[in-house]
Amino acid sequence: MTVVVDESKLEELMGQLVGHMTGSALCFGIWLGDELGLYRTLVELGPTSADDLATASGCHPRLVREWLDGQAAGGLLAWDEAGDQYSISPEAAMALADDESPAFVARAMNAIGSVFIDMPKVAEAFRGNGALSWGAHHPCLFSGTEWFFRTGYRAELPNWIATLDGVAEKLAEGATVADVGCGHGASSVVPSKTNCSPVAR
């Protein structure tokens, strides 16, 4: 049987695959940058050199330079060639450096990491009875999931509660809420205007 390969379609597919690989590597870099505090330190320093960021963050200068170059190549950070300085835009700072921001997403990359960490367990489920309990996943899945939703809860929970008939008033009077199956409880303990006294279970 002769298989005819369309070279243009193959080239397009390879571009897609390389793009997926690049995206996963960039997610790893975001996770690493958050863990090491590199984004937050860059915000504090302003436009700075790789060596100065390494010193301020207590990290290896060569590795910090490589991390910065990867972040700049991915369009997350800016690099000024003339001054050899790196900087972070206000928008990127909201998403990557400020965990109080409603747009913060860097810590959610823990969930992406868990997918790779759990690959042997998932493969075993495919080969076996198909079962893999939620609790059997790596803890990074739970922390990443929490952080993916936490910013939305923080920004919107008071508005959501306000749309529920009588709920805001009851919470303001000191009602206790049990949120069953709430993971790490971000939706229960997030500060709100309701003066809620929640109990997470």
Predicted confidence at residue 42, as pLDDT, reads 98
Predicted confidence at residue 31, as pLDDT, reads 95
Tally Cβ neighbours within 10 Å of residue 66.
Answer: 13
Predicted confidence at residue 182, as pLDDT, reads 63
CA 86 centroid distance within chain: 21
Question: Which spans in the chain are helix H?
Answer: 7-36, 38-45, 50-57, 61-73, 90-96, 109-117, 119-127, 139-162, 167-172, 186-189
Residues 6 or more apart whose Cβ sits within 8 Å of residue 181: 201
Q: pLDDT tens digit string along 126-144?
A: 999 999 998 899 988 888 8
In angstroms, the CA 51 to CA 189 distance is: 39
Q: pLDDT tens digit string along 58-95?
A: 999 999 999 999 999 999 999 999 999 999 999 999 99
Predicted confidence at residue 185, as pLDDT, reads 65
Predicted confidence at residue 200, as pLDDT, reads 36
In angstroms, the CA 187 to CA 135 distance is: 19
Judge whether residue 49 has pLDDT over 80: yes
Q: Give the predicted TM-score (pTM) of the model.
A: 0.78
Give 77: exposed, middle or buried? Use CB within 10 Å, 0-12, 13-18, 19+: buried
Q: How far is CA 117 from CA 33, 94, 128, in A?
A: 19, 28, 19
Q: pLDDT tens digit string along 163-195?
A: 888 888 888 888 877 777 666 666 666 644 333
